[in-house]
Amino acid sequence: MPSAAAVSSPPRRAVAALHITDIESAINWWRDRSPSPDGITACAEVLALAEVYALMVYYHESECDEATMPAAARDAWLAWYATVPDAPCIAICSTSQGDAVCKGCGRTFLEVQRWTEMSPFEKRATWRRITQEGTAWRFNRYAERANEGAPTRPASEPQAGPQDTDVRAAA
């Protein structure tokens, strides 16, 4: 069993912060889902998210407050969020063996216990932290487990690289 210090609740933020990279990912997902018919206009979801992104860039902010996001941007982000993996668990939970931080996924004991109660914004903040730390087994020795079920690219299909540019832009 984890120590009392590991189980005690950390100070909860009034609202969760959403990182700019999540806004970028959501914009790109919407651009793929609803491509511009003329190369200029964007769908309503992209426009809503782009406004948040532009303000973050303008004010040099790397995070935005979930409570102050416009409803259209929040809804667009939540639609993207519904397509990403929810839990980082790889079914090797060392918190059940007494560790304060899971060796498998990198979440704290409290994060593992509260996961189903956490908002999508809180979950993304946790995902960001464990990804940046990169110490959990899901990122190294058991990375193949974390990638199970992920779409795979056929061997004959080349990976896009920096040399691959949009030829339509050059025409």
Question: Which residue in the block uniquely carries the two structure tokens 């899901």?
Answer: 138
Local mean pLDDT, 10-residue blocks, the chain (171 residues): 46 70 96 94 97 97 92 97 92 92 95 95 94 91 66 44 36 37
Question: Which residue in the block uniquely carries the two structure tokens 């993207």?
Answer: 80
Count CB-CB contacts under 10 A for residue 18. 26
Same-domain status, 79 and 91: no
Count CB-CB contacts under 10 A for residue 51. 14
Domain that holds residue 74: 15-84
Single out the residue in 36, 57, 84 at which a domain terminates.
84
Same-domain status, 98 and 78: no
Same-domain status, 97 and 63: no
- With contact defined as beta carbons under 8 Å apart, do 74 and 81 qualify? no
* pLDDT value of position 66: 87
- For the chain, the domain total comes to 2
Same-domain status, 21 and 77: yes
* pLDDT value of position 142: 73
What tokens appear for 121 in the block? 């914004």
Single out the residue in 84, 111, 126 at which a domain terminates.
84
Nearest CA among 78, 71, 87 for reference residue 29? 78
Task: Give the whole-angstrom CA distance, residue 120 versus residue 16.
Answer: 9
* pLDDT value of position 17: 87
* pLDDT value of position 145: 65
